[in-house]
Amino acid sequence: MTSNLIKKMLDDWELRSNHVKEQVSTEVVLNKVDLIKIEALAETYELPASDLLANLIHTALLEVEEQMPYVAGDKVIRIEEGEPIYEDVGRTPEYMAAKARLEKK
């Protein structure tokens, strides 16, 4: 009988290994008050401040993407369930194009 604990550990290692491959280092300039908050959170949760900061940035970026407003233009780009869907003339298409271009680098 195989141990589920060993399988879980191996799965965790695989996830961590894949995650580490995607990490890059960059310099971030922070306000002193924000740095104190990050260090306090890191101490409280017994995590490296760099991991905590990376997680905060990741979560904030997901929220920003979700909250980017759709701005309906005049041009109909398709019909869904009989309703016209208008092109987005807001910042989302520009952002998505820049993101796709940078991901190809």
Co-location of 74 and 63 in the same domain: no
Q: Which amino acid is at 79?
A: I
**pTM score:** 0.74
Co-location of 75 and 53 in the same domain: no
E-only strand ranges, 30-71: none
Does residue 56 sit within a domain?
yes
* Cβ proximity of 40 and 53 under 8 Å: no
Phi-psi category of residue 82: left, alpha or beta, with phi > 0 → left and psi -120 to 50 → alpha: left
State the residue for tokens 């017994």.
46
Domains identified in the chain, total number: 2
* Cβ proximity of 68 and 79 under 8 Å: no
d(CA 105, CA 101): 7
Q: What is the pLDDT of residues 35-75, one digit of tens each?
A: 999 999 999 999 999 999 999 999 999 999 999 999 999 99
Residues of the domain holding 43? 28-67
Co-location of 32 and 53 in the same domain: yes
pLDDT at 3 over 80: no
What is the reported pLDDT for 1?
A: 53
Co-location of 54 and 85 in the same domain: no
